[in-house]
Amino acid sequence: MSVVHLSTNDVWGGAAKAAYRLHQGLRAESVQSSMFVRNKRSKQDHVVEFRPSDSFFAKCQRAFRYVRIRRDFFPRYVSRPGSTGTLMSDDRSRFAGEVVDQLPAANILNLHWVAEFVDIPNLFRNTDVPIVWTLHDMNPLTGGCHYSFRCRRFEKKCGICPRIDSDEKNDPSRKSWKRKRTAFREKINQNKLHVVAPSTWLAREARKSTLLGGAPIHHIPYGLDHTRFRPRSSQSERSRLGISDTRKIILFVAHSSTDPRKGFHLLIKALKNANLSGVTLVSIGSSSPVVPNGITHVHAGHIDDEEKLSVMYSMADVFVIPSLQDNLPNTVLESMACGTPVVGFKSGGIPEMVRAGETGWLTEKGNIRELRQAIETSLEDDTERKKMSTQCRRVIAKEYTIKRQARSYKSMYSALLSQN
């Protein structure tokens, strides 16, 4: 059995990290697994980086295709007030068939987050092997948005897309939906397209989609190495960041704190009127967020090293994830594996991990008052937090190990190959 994982990145971003962890887990289970990526940051030989042709003709073709794809949104849609085209991704890629031409040989292709890398119509049209698509967000089942929020038009044919402030039925989201439908239909009819959703929430959304609803949809949660993400001593890190032993720590982690979906702005609103005596907010991410006066804040920057990340999670008294919509965030799994309870909204797949009274505190999505109360409660009861810390580790060890995830995928791959 040989599997190639297609991903725009190998270790940069949550979706890429999840794909890379699965790839490593499969190799540990004796599966011949490799990754084929647009941007390689790791130094692993079994991660292959795509190399676009440097011929003048190929460069001209890519430039022309890039302009043609972009003009669907720019400036006609993105220049409109209130439009947010950056939260959309087209199904096409400027690389067209070059990606397929360089694909390593495999029995199965496993797609992950492939925006701006894989040309979906081209790949599906020119690939004979079965395809498994692991959903890291909603983009594969919509006309382009990565998260639909209140919009349910993906249950029909998309169009009149609120993400791009469109009032046209045949807008870019409808056109993308049509191309995807054509690409997916043949594979679904041949039983050569299977879908994996890490959260039951995303599995339900996929089944409601007119694009993927006809494909077999499996629920396989993410996994991680809970021997690597574990409670660690954090004394030296506290000293390095200038945080005294007596202060309690609220931790926020996101690739970008400016992404409204991640809800950092809601966390700040909740903390403004909270009792924060002796409390420090620590953030981790690619850019330092703006925090108002009155909130003691330390930004630790972007952290790739998993051992250092586990130290940061271990240092925190509570991890807060105020995401308004999310799949099955790696950060929650990482925090729980390090024995740090979580406060979060009842949003997406978060309640599947954050279980009220067991592994953390849940509040209604977007409710600032409830979020503030949950944070204050979490910091007041040291005994309760200690009990939850133990339970967090138990849940991870039982349900979210990389071995459990890899074996579930291996079993699915075997069944898929036997049918084809």
**Which pLDDT value is given to residue 398?**
97
pLDDT at residue number 288: 86
209 pLDDT tier (thresholds 50, 70, 90): very high
C-alpha 271/C-alpha 265 separation (Å) is 10
Q: Indicate whether 86 pLDDT > 80.
A: no
Given a cut of 90, whether residue 176 has pLDDT beyond it is yes
Q: How confident is the model at residue 75 (pLDDT cuts 50, 70, 90)?
A: low
* Residues 379-410 pLDDT 10s: 998 999 999 999 999 999 999 999 999 999 99
Q: What is the pLDDT of residues 371-381, one digit of tens each?
A: 999 999 999 98
Residue 128 pLDDT more than 70? yes
Per-residue DSSP letter, 3? E
Plot region of 242 (φ>0 → left; ψ -120 to 50 → alpha; else → beta):
left
For residues 3 and 107, give the distance between their C-alpha atoms in angstroms, rounded to a whole number: 6
pLDDT score, position 165: 87
The candidate with the shortest Cα–Cα distance to 40, out of 61, 20, 70, 58, is 20
Q: What is the pLDDT of residue 420?
A: 77
Around Cβ 363, how many Cβ atoms within 10 Å?
22
pLDDT value at residue 84: 52
pLDDT classification of 276: cutoffs 50, 70, 90: confident
- The confidence band for 163, taking pLDDT boundaries of 50, 70 and 90, is confident
Which of 86-90, 97-101, 145-149, 325-329 shows the lowest mean pLDDT across its residues? Answer: 86-90
181 vs 198: CA distance, rounded Å: 23
% of the chain surpassing 90 pLDDT: 84
Give residue 349's pLDDT.
96
Q: State residue 256's pLDDT score.
A: 83
**Whose structure tokens read 């890629």?**
93
Q: 56-70, 217-231, 278-292 — which one is most confidently predicted on average? A: 217-231
**Would you say residue 186 has pLDDT above 70?**
yes
pLDDT of 327 strictly over 90: yes
Band of pLDDT at residue 78, cut at 50, 70 and 90: low
* Mean of pLDDT values over 34-38: 96
Each residue's pLDDT tens digit, 191-203: 999 999 999 999 9
What is the reported pLDDT for 81? 58
Where does the pLDDT of residue 83 fall: very low under 50, low under 70, confident under 90, or very high at 90 and above? low
Query: Which CATH number is associated with domain 2-223+402-419?
Result: 3.40.50.2000
What dihedral angle (degrees, nearest 10) is formed by the CA atoms of 361, 398, 409, 350? Answer: 0
Indicate the domain borders of the chain. 2-223+402-419, 235-399
pLDDT, residue 403, reads 97
Per-residue pLDDT at 79 exceeds 80 = no
Report, as an integer, the average pLDDT of 208-215: 95
Cis peptide, bond prior to residue 75, ω within 30 of zero: yes
Q: Which residue has 């492939």 as its token pair?
A: 114
Superfamily of domain 235-399: Glycogen Phosphorylase B; (3.40.50.2000)
For 198-329, strand residue ranges (E) read 217-219, 248-253, 279-284, 297-299, 318-321
